[in-house]
Amino acid sequence: MAAVASAGQAGPQAPAPANRPAPHGLRFPVWRWAILLAATAYFLIPLYSALKFAGLKAFPDIFRQSGFISAMGLSLRLALITTILTLLLMVPTVVYVHLRLPQIRRMMEAITILPIVIPPIVLIIGVLKVAPGFLLSTPYLLALLYVILAMPFAYRSLDAGLRAFDLKTMVEAASSLGAGAPATLWRVVLPNIRTAMLSATVLTVALVLGEFTMASLDLYQTFPVWIVNFEQNSGPVSVAASLFALFVTWILLMVIVTAGSWSSRRRGGGEVALFTVVRQDFGQTPGEPG
Q: Which of the residues 16 through 55 are near another protein (CB under 8 A)?
A: 22-27, 31-32, 35-36, 39, 42-43, 45-50, 52-54
Least distance in Å: CB of 35 to another protein?
5
The reply to whether 69 sits near another protein by the rule CB under 8 A is no
Other CB atoms within a 10 A radius of the CB of residue 5 amount to 9
Least distance in Å: CB of 123 to another protein?
6
Binding-site member from 125, 177, 181, 183 for another protein (CB under 8 A): 125
Nearer to another protein, 69 or 101 (CB): 101
| C-alpha to C-alpha distance for 26 and 76, rounded to whole angstroms | 50
Nearer to another protein, 76 or 228 (CB): 228
Binding-site member from 67, 139, 270, 283 for another protein (CB under 8 A): 283
For Cα atoms 179, 180, 183, give the angle at the middle one, nearest 5 degrees.
Answer: 75
- Restricting to residues 207-236, which ones interact with another protein according to CB under 8 A? 210-213, 216-217, 224, 227-228, 231, 235
Per rule CB under 8 A, count of chain residues that contact another protein: 97
Determine the 3-state secondary structure of 13 from DSSP: coil
Nearer to another protein, 238 or 263 (CB): 238
Rg (CA), the chain: 24
Burial 109-142 (b: 16+ CB within 10 A, else e): eeebbebbeeebeebbeebeeebeeeeeeebebb
Cβ–Cβ < 8 Å for 143, 84: no
Least distance in Å: CB of 28 to another protein?
8
Cβ–Cβ < 8 Å for 152, 112: yes
Binding-site member from 4, 30, 117, 173 for another protein (CB under 8 A): 117
- Restricting to residues 97-116, which ones interact with another protein according to CB under 8 A? 97, 100-101, 104, 111, 114-115
- Restricting to residues 237-266, which ones interact with another protein according to CB under 8 A? 238-239, 241-243, 245-246, 249-250, 253, 257
| C-alpha to C-alpha distance for 278 and 283, rounded to whole angstroms | 5
- Restricting to residues 154-193, which ones interact with another protein according to CB under 8 A? none
The reply to whether 84 sits near another protein by the rule CB under 8 A is no
The reply to whether 139 sits near another protein by the rule CB under 8 A is no
The reply to whether 270 sits near another protein by the rule CB under 8 A is no
Nearer to another protein, 159 or 288 (CB): 288
Least distance in Å: CB of 147 to another protein?
7
Helix axes 194-210, 141-163, angle to 10 degrees: 150
Which residues 6+ apart lie within 8 Å of 204 measured at CB?
A: 79, 82, 83, 86, 146, 150, 153, 154, 286
- The distance in angstroms from the start CA to the end CA of the chain is 44
